Structure 1
Amino acid sequence: MAAIDTAIRAAAAAIALKGVSKAYDAHSVVIPPLDAELRAGEFTVVLGPSGCGKSTLLQMIAGLERVSGGAILIGGREVQDLEPKLRGCAMVFQNYALYPHMSVFDNIAYSLKVAGMPKGERIARVGAVARMLGLDELLGRKPAQLSGGQRQRVAIGRAIVREPGVLLFDEPLSNLDAQLRHDMRIELADLHRRIGATTVFVTHDQVEAMTLADRILILNKGRIEQFDTPRAIYHRPASVFVAKFIGAPPMNVLPVTGDGMTLRLADGQAVAQHADSGQFLLGIRPEDVTASAKGPLQAQLRYREDLGSHSVLAVDLAGSTLRIATPFGAELEISAKLALDFSPTRLHLFDAGTGQAIANAFGPH
C-alpha cells in the first residue's frame, strides 16, 4: 500500500449529524432537524429526487453552507462553525471546477502549493496520485485537451492529493455519458477499496447508489426515509416512497382492503391472507410476479417493452397498472388475458395513511 493510501485510510473519520437543520426563513425549511451517523471509512450515498436537500446536506458537511441548527462532528470534533479548509474534507463537484489555464499537474498540485509544501514533495505527491488514477501520461495537458472521464479523474486527484479523511462528491458523474458513468463507477469503487476514506456521495441515480454504497441514506423533502444497506433497502423498503424510488421498474403498489382474514383488490380478487382489517397498500417487485396459465389473479396486457435481456409487461389488474419483469421472448399479444400469482413471502404491506411499512406482515423477508 502506497504512503498516500495509508495516510488517507488513517485519517478516515466518522461523521455525526446531530439535529442538523437548514432553513432560509420560517417558510423555507430545506432540512428539518436530522440525525445520522456515517461510519469511518464507509461509502455513504445520499440519494433522493431533485430538491430533496441532498446537496444542501453535503455542502453543510463541507462548510459551504452554514447550518441553521444542530451540530456536525467529524472525528468527534464539532466543525459546524469552522471554515471549510479546517474540516479535513475534500470535495469533488459536478462541473469539475478545474483551472482551464493550468496543466493537469498544476491543477492537482495547486492546494499543496498554496499550503506551502516544498516543490520536491509536491512532485512526489502528485506523481503518486497520477499513477493511482491513470493520469501519468496526461500531467502536461490542459483540461480542454481531456475527455470528460479524464477531467473527472483530475478533479478526484486534486481532492485526494491533500490526503483528506473525508471525501465529498456532489453528483460527480451526471455530466458523463452512460458508458463513462459505468466506467467511473468501477473506478470509484476500486479507489474507495484502496484508500478507505470516509466518502459521502450525492446522487439522484439509484444505479450509482445501489452499486457504490455501503449504506444508502434516502432523503425525501429533507427527511430521512431510510438509511441502510442497498440490499436491505431493496428487499425491505421502510416506506412506499422508498419502494417506488428504488428499482427499475419500481415496486408495484396496489390498494387493498383487509377484512380480518384476506386482503382483496378493488375488484374483490383475493391476493393474500392477513389478520388485520382496513385499508392498506400492497407492494410487489416486478420480478416477483409470476404469469402462468393457472394463476389466481386475472389481468389484461396493455403494453410490453422488450429490453433484450428481459421484457417488462404492463397489465391492468383491478383498475391499477402492474408491471411484470419476464424473460425475454415470451410471445404475448396486446390485450391478452393473463393469470398472475404472487408468492406471499415476496409481498410487502404498507399503511395506507402514513405509507410506512408494516413489519413482518407476511413473515420475515
Structure 2
Amino acid sequence: MNTIDTAIRAAAADIKLAGVAKAYDAQTVVIPPMDVQLKAGEFTVVLGPSGCGKSTLLQMIAGLERVSGGKIVIGDREVQDLEPKQRGCAMVFQNYALYPHMTVLENMAYSLKVAGLSKVERAERVEAVATMLGLSDYLHRRPGQLSGGQRQRVAIGRAIVREPGVLLFDEPLSNLDAQLRHDMRVELAELHRRIGATTIFVTHDQVEAMTLADRILILNRGRIEQFDTPKAIYHHPASVFVAKFIGAPPMNILPVTGDGSALRLADGQVVAEASLTGNYQLGIRPEDIVASGHGAGRLCKAMLRFREDLGSHSVLAAELAGLVVRIATPFGVDTADLVELSLNFPPSRLHLFDAQTGRAIAGAFGA
C-alpha cells in the first residue's frame, strides 16, 4: 500500500442525505425528499432506468446540481452549500472529459497544479497512480492515441490522484464494448479493495450493479425502491419493480387469485396452495421453474413457443394462462422434443406481491 492508498482510505467518509430533494418547479419533481446513509469505504451502486434521477442525485452530492431542500453531510460537514472543490469528492464522467491537447501525465496532474502542489509532488502522485492503473507506458501520449479502456483509466487516475475520500462515477463504462466493460469491472473492484474510498457508482446496467456493489440503491421515479446487498435484492425483492428490473431474464410476474385454499391463474390452474383470498401478483425467477414436472409443488400445463440456446443454458418461452413465462434450463437438461411443458413451481421459490402497490408480502409461503 502506497501513500495514495493510505491517504484515500483515511479520507473515506460516511455520506448522509437528510430530506434531500430536487425539483425544478411544482410540476417537475425529479427527486422527492430522500433519506439515506452510505457507510465510509462502501461501494454503493445507484441503479435504475433512464430518467429515474440517479445522475441528478450524484450531481447533487458532487455539488454540480443545487439541492431544492434537505441536507448533505459528508463526514461531519454539511456540504449542500459548498462549492464542488470544497466537498472532498472526485468525479469520473461517462464521456471521460479529458483535455485532448494534454498528455496523460498533464491530464492527471492538472488538478494538482491548480491546487498549488509542487512539480515534484505532482510527479510523485501521478507516477504512483499510473503504476496502480497500468498507465506508466502511456504518460506521454495524448487521449486520441489511447483505446477507450485506457482513456477511462486516465479519467479514473485523474480522480484518485487528488486523494479524495469520496469517488463518484456517472455511468463510466457505458461507452465501452462488452469485453472492455467486463475487464473494467474487474479493475474497478480491485481498485476499490485497494484504496477503500467511499464510492457511489451510477448505472442502468444490472450486471455492473450485481458484480460491483456492496449495496445497491434502486431508484424508481426518484424514490428508493430498495437499498440492500445484491444477494438480498435478487432473492428478496421488495417490489414488482425490483423483481423485474434485476435478473436476466427478469422474474416472471403472474396475476393470481386466492380462493382461500389456493392461488389460481387466469385459466383456473392452481399454481400454489395458500390460505389467501383476493388478487395478487406471483413472482418466480426463470431458473427456479422446473420444466420436467418433477419435484415438490403444483404442476401447470404450458405450451412451448420459443427456445433460446445460449450454450451454458437454454431459455424457454412458454405460454401459460395467456401470458409468456420464461424458464431457464441448465446445461444438460434436454428439452428439444418438448412441446407441451409441465411446469413445477417450488413453493420455497415463490414471491407474492400486492396487486395494487406491487410491494412484497412476506411469509405468504412460510418463508
TM (norm. structure 1) is 0.98
Q: Is residue 315 of structure 1 aligned with residue 315 of structure 2?
A: no
In 2: Cα distance, 1:250 partner to 1:82 partner: 41
Structure 2 counterpart of 1:72: 72
Contact 1:43 1:212 in 2 (8 A): yes
Q: 1:212 offset after TM fit, Å? A: 0.1
Structure 2 counterpart of 1:303: 306
Q: 1:293 offset after TM fit, Å? A: 4.6
SS at match of 2:152: helix
Contact 2:112 2:122 in 1 (8 A): yes
Amino acid at match of 1:332: A
Q: Is residue 351 of structure 1 aligned with residue 359 of structure 2?
A: no
In 1: Cα distance, 2:365 partner to 2:39 partner: 33
In 1: Cα distance, 2:25 partner to 2:213 partner: 33
Structure 2 counterpart of 1:332: 336
Matches within 5 A, 1:273-292: 273-292=273-292
TM (norm. structure 2) is 0.97
SS at match of 1:56: helix
Matches within 5 A, 1:1-365: 1-293=1-293, 296-328=299-331, 330-333=334-337, 336-364=339-367
Cα deviation code 1:302-349 (max 9, x no counterpart): 111111111100001111111000024624358x11101011000000
Cα deviation code 1:242-284 (max 9, x no counterpart): 0000000000000000112111111111111212210000000
In 1: Cα distance, 2:208 partner to 2:76 partner: 29
In 1: Cα distance, 2:46 partner to 2:198 partner: 13
Contact 2:165 2:197 in 1 (8 A): yes
Contact 2:17 2:71 in 1 (8 A): yes
Amino acid at match of 2:51: G
Q: Could you list the runs of 4 or more consecutive aligned residues of structure 1 that deviate by over 6 angstroms after TM superposition? A: none
Stretches of structure 2 lacking an aligned partner (at least 5 in a row): none
In 1: Cα distance, 2:198 partner to 2:52 partner: 23
In 2: Cα distance, 1:126 partner to 1:293 partner: 61
Amino acid at match of 2:364: A
Amino acid at match of 2:278: G
SS at match of 1:91: strand
Amino acid at match of 2:198: T
Contact 2:299 2:345 in 1 (8 A): no
- Of all paired residues, the percent bearing the same amino acid is 78
Aligned residue-pair number: 363
In 1: Cα distance, 2:118 partner to 2:309 partner: 60
Amino acid at match of 1:194: R
In 2: Cα distance, 1:10 partner to 1:348 partner: 42
In 2: Cα distance, 1:125 partner to 1:331 partner: 58
Q: Which moved more, 1:313-322 or 1:223-232?
A: 313-322
In 2: Cα distance, 1:168 partner to 1:274 partner: 46
The 1:14–1:319 alpha-carbon spacing in structure 2 relative to 1, beyond 3 Å, is: same
In 1: Cα distance, 2:100 partner to 2:229 partner: 39
Contact 1:306 1:328 in 2 (8 A): no
RMSD of the TM alignment (CA)?
1.0
Q: Which moved more, 1:322-331 or 1:352-361?
A: 322-331
Contact 1:281 1:351 in 2 (8 A): yes
In 2: Cα distance, 1:8 partner to 1:129 partner: 12
Amino acid at match of 1:315: A
Amino acid at match of 2:12: A
SS at match of 1:207: helix
Q: 1:292 offset after TM fit, Å? A: 1.4
SS at match of 1:292: coil
Amino acid at match of 1:21: A
Amino acid at match of 2:357: T
